[in-house]
Structure 1
């Protein structure tokens, strides 16, 4: 599929509906533009991390943060 969009003088563009649908992207979503060394670009929707969830999980991992654990798993 090829979708065309024009860039404004301010560097803005409208993401075609087909692309938004394929990315499952909508207002307020974040998009990441990945540029390869050969000049190809891909775009993907970035799902924000649930920071409250990650902080809660981090609290359960303290049992694995001892000096003994560091020594045992250092070479993995």
Structure 2
């Protein structure tokens, strides 16, 4: 599918209807842009995170929260 949009002076654009339908996005949904080194861009729908769930999971990961772990995984 090829869809063309125009960028406004404020850097905004409208996502064409066919693209919104293909991505299953609606007003208020989140999208992510990934830009490759060759200049191509990929857009995908992002699921919002459940912060309470993530906090609950974080509490079970305390075995990996030591100084050695911080040093080992700092660059990730």
1:22 maps to 22
Q: List structure 1 runs of 4+ shifted beyond 2 angstroms.
A: 57-62
Task: Choose 1 or 2 for highest CA Rg.
Answer: 1
| Distance apart, 1:27 and its partner CA | 0.9
Distance change (3 Å), C-alpha of 1:59 and 1:12:
same
TM-score, normalisation: structure 2: 0.73
Equivalent residue runs for 1:1-76 within 5 Å: 1-62=1-62, 65=63
Alpha-carbon RMSD: 1.9
Supply the distance in 2 between the matched residues of 1:5 and 1:15 (Cα, whole angstroms): 7
Supply the distance in 1 between the matched residues of 2:20 and 2:44 (Cα, whole angstroms): 10
**How many equivalent pairs are there?**
66
| Distance apart, 1:24 and its partner CA | 1.0
